[in-house]
Amino acid sequence: MSSTQNLLGGRYQPIHPLNTHVAGQTLLANDIQDLDHTQCVVRQLRFPTRNPMTRQFILGLLKKKVQVLKEIGQHPQIPATTAAFNDDQSFYIVQEFIPGRSLRDELASAQPWSAADARAFLRAVLPVLAHAQQHGVVHGNLKPSKLIRHQAADQLVVLDFGGIKSVSQNIAYKKKSFVPVPQSAPAQAYLAPEQWRRQTRFCSDHYALGMMVIQALTGLPPEALPSAQEPTLQTDIVALLTAIPDLDAPTSLLLTRMVHPNPEQRYQAAPDILADLDQLQSSQSAFPELVTQAPVPLSISPSDDSRPMRTQKWPWGLISIVGLAGLAGVTGLLALRLPQRVLAGQQLQTGQALEADDPEAALARYNRALELQPLYPEALAERGQLHLTMGDTEAALADLTEAIALAPEQSTYPYDRANIRLSVGDIQGAINDYTQALQQDAQFVKAYVNRGSARAEWGDDQGAIEDYTQAIELASGTEIQAAAHLNRCLSYSNLGNQSAALDDCAAAINLRPSHALAYQNRGLVRRRSMDYQGSLQDYNIAIQIEPNSPDPYYNRGLTRQSLNDLTGAMADFSQAIALDPNYVFAMYDRGLLQAELGNYAAALADLRQASQLCLDLGRTGCYDDAQYQITRLQAALPVAKSESN
């Protein structure tokens, strides 16, 4: 018998891992409380932060998401969700284990499908998508490995519905990230174009399903399928389908519409595809709703100037042949290029002078500098920072990446790129870049502080404490010392050392007595220590220092909720929203509090606003859960009205 200490949730005995990802892992386990020790799948999802405010919000979303999974799991082709629980570090979901063979394995070992095989496959899977769509659920990560043919029932079962991982990954970051979820090269074949921009829709699942069918019809490996990132996507797909022997035109047109680069041109709901399949079955010649369209390029092809430049190396043997005459020619060329460098430097300096008052003019100067001297890392780095200021994060990352390649000995370039990666949620990438900066400059104090912040976001508070400590020892200025103490305060608190946390927060306050965030962090530590009155006092001071900041009001509202001062909490949430109408946490929590107080109309208004904010921020999990709360509240309204009469 295994010790209960080794059991998950006191009940589930891990057998071996099935999958590991950034947010956690998936395990095969035995349910030891079941007489037959039934096998099940346990999905571990690590909390992305230990901040109790954020974790409370995430935990609420996850629990509601599990309820949705239980509802859609009533379909025979979706694994049943049987339980959910959490500990200090992670959230766990228990689901039915489906024994069988994945579609990925079937495709790897089978001959190419016929058109009839393709249509039969679509009829088998589309009803599952239709069922999920009725509950507002998008799969978002559909690929052959997620489809299992049940060895007993001999039917395809779709795994991993609900986008649970995205809840814990996305909710920690307010900014919308352009960086796609990391995928292996084969898995990228099934990502629709909009998913590379962090936009997932019902028709994104249709794209993935259509690409699976095209793979099966052609017998191609996934790596050889057309890429959604290529502007020739539609043309490539049409060419592939045209080359398939005996593929009838209606089926080809149906698939073309399923995988159209423009999501607006795709089928918007699974029942619509099923309806056209039924029409195909009734009459191969009658297919009026499918219209052949000329291929439309997804985007303008990049110009030659935008392609990465290659350096050319002289073969060693040619040096002796060229001789002194050739070397003299090279010297002459270098002399001719000297004015170009001087002019490029002048353009760079002018751009730096213009940045504050005229960013567009500064950008033009940086562009000109790079036209004069394309391999100019200083200009690339400056232009990257300006792109970031102007809101073009992708261009900023591209410029800094090229600058790093040109000047790998520089510590500031990877540091700047790390800051951008941290801001968009690429935590591991940020940690790697901060480490590269520190390898070039071991005294780079800010890099220690920011790498500590990245490690803390990643859940490595012990590593964060080591970085903050190093920064405190190296820093000479009070501002950096205060920041390191302040951040170390939170990491100590996350590890349960509230005494050390309070000491660090006090040190930060002593170094910068007028820093509102220091009082906010100490207020958080005091709330964790159940010193609610001390917590309120700190938040009151933070509000006095920064009366126009919404954060201390929201945090004070949470403390007041802990004291059961619901009226005070409502007032604080409302003030946070008044200061920042887009404060989604305050809007969501106020909506739940309104519902708790019986103010159903106000609750619905807040939750609808929170839902829209989540959508605007690109956080589909947050949006789904706000919608779920709205649905539950609307369902409860008739009951509430009848009880009040």
The pTM assigned to this predicted structure is 0.48
Beta bridge partners of 14: 29
Encode 24-45: b = buried (16+ Cβ within 10 Å), e = exposed: bbbbebbbbeeeeeeebbbbbb
User: Closest Cα to residue 417, out of 442, 439, 435, 441?
Assistant: 435
Report whether 429 contacts 452 (CB < 8 A): no
CA distances from residue 74 to 132, 165, 172, 205, 449 in whole angstroms, order as listed: 11, 21, 31, 20, 49
Provide the residue ranges of all domains of the chain, joining segments of one domain with +.
Answer: 4-96, 100-282, 330-407, 581-645
* Position 639 pLDDT exceeds 60: no
Position 335 scores a pLDDT of 34
Query: Token pair 């797909």 is at which residue?
Result: 237
Angle at 199 between CA 165 and CA 56, to 5 degrees: 40
Angle at 228 between CA 227 and CA 232, to 5 degrees: 75
Report whether 478 contacts 469 (CB < 8 A): no
Query: Token pair 């900066």 is at which residue?
Result: 437
Which pair of tokens denotes residue 614?
């989540």
Position 341 scores a pLDDT of 75
The rounded distance, in Å, linking the Cα atoms of 619 and 55 is 16
User: Closest Cα to residue 397, out of 619, 169, 178, 174?
Assistant: 178
Compute the average pLDDT of residues 332-339: 38
Helix (H) or strand (E) holding 595: helix 584-596
CATH dotted code for 100-282 = 1.10.510.10
- C-alpha 273: how far from chain center: 29
Compute the average pLDDT of residues 141-168: 80
CA distances from residue 211 to 146, 167, 204 in whole angstroms, order as listed: 14, 26, 11
Compute the average pLDDT of residues 487-494: 93
* Position 631 pLDDT exceeds 80: yes
User: Other CB atoms closer than 10 Å to residue 229's CB: what's the count?
Assistant: 13
3-class DSSP string for 393-428: HHHHHHHHHHHHHHCCCCCHHHHHHHHHHHHCCCHH
Compute the average pLDDT of residues 61-90: 90
pLDDT digits (tens, 9 = 90+) for 318-331: 222 233 233 333 33
Position 199 scores a pLDDT of 77
What is the architecture, at CATH level 2, of domain 330-407? Alpha Horseshoe (1.25)
Which pair of tokens denotes residue 500?
């050390």
Higher per-residue confidence, 358 vs 282: 358
Query: Token pair 């174009």 is at which residue?
Result: 193
Which of 129-133, 163-167, 398-402, 557-561 has the weakest average pLDDT? 163-167
Percentage of the chain lying above the pLDDT 90 cut: 50
For the chain, the average pLDDT equals 82
Beta bridge partners of 45: 24, 91
Compute the average pLDDT of residues 490-509: 93
Position 176 scores a pLDDT of 31
Position 54 scores a pLDDT of 66
Query: Token pair 């990802």 is at which residue?
Result: 21
Query: Token pair 């353009």 is at which residue?
Result: 347
Report whether 235 contacts 243 (CB < 8 A): no
Confidence class for position 282, pLDDT limits 50, 70, 90: low
Confidence class for position 644, pLDDT limits 50, 70, 90: very low
The rounded distance, in Å, linking the Cα atoms of 398 and 394 is 6
Query: Token pair 């019809």 is at which residue?
Result: 217
* Position 17 pLDDT exceeds 60: yes
CA atoms within 13 A on the CB side of 40: 25
Position 214 scores a pLDDT of 95
Which of 269-273, 605-609, 627-631 has the weakest average pLDDT? 627-631
User: Closest Cα to residue 212, out of 325, 126, 334?
Assistant: 126
499 burial level (CB within 10 Å; 0-12, 13-18, 19+): exposed
The rounded distance, in Å, linking the Cα atoms of 447 and 434 is 6
Phi-psi region of 165 (alpha: psi -120 to 50; beta: other; left: phi over 0): alpha
Which of 35-39, 126-130, 254-258, 334-338 has the weakest average pLDDT? 334-338
In sequence order, the 6+-apart residues with CB closer than 8 A to the CB of 192 are 203, 204, 207, 208, 228, 263
Query: Token pair 């290029």 is at which residue?
Result: 337
Phi, psi (rounded to 5 degrees) for 41: -110, 125
CATH dotted code for 4-96 = 3.30.200.20
The rounded distance, in Å, linking the Cα atoms of 556 and 62 is 24
Phi, psi (rounded to 5 degrees) for 477: -90, 145
Direct distance between the N- and C-terminal alpha carbons of the chain, in angstroms, rounded to an integer: 57
Report whether 29 contacts 96 (CB < 8 A): no
User: Other CB atoms closer than 10 Å to residue 208's CB: what's the count?
Assistant: 25
Phi, psi (rounded to 5 degrees) for 29: -140, 165
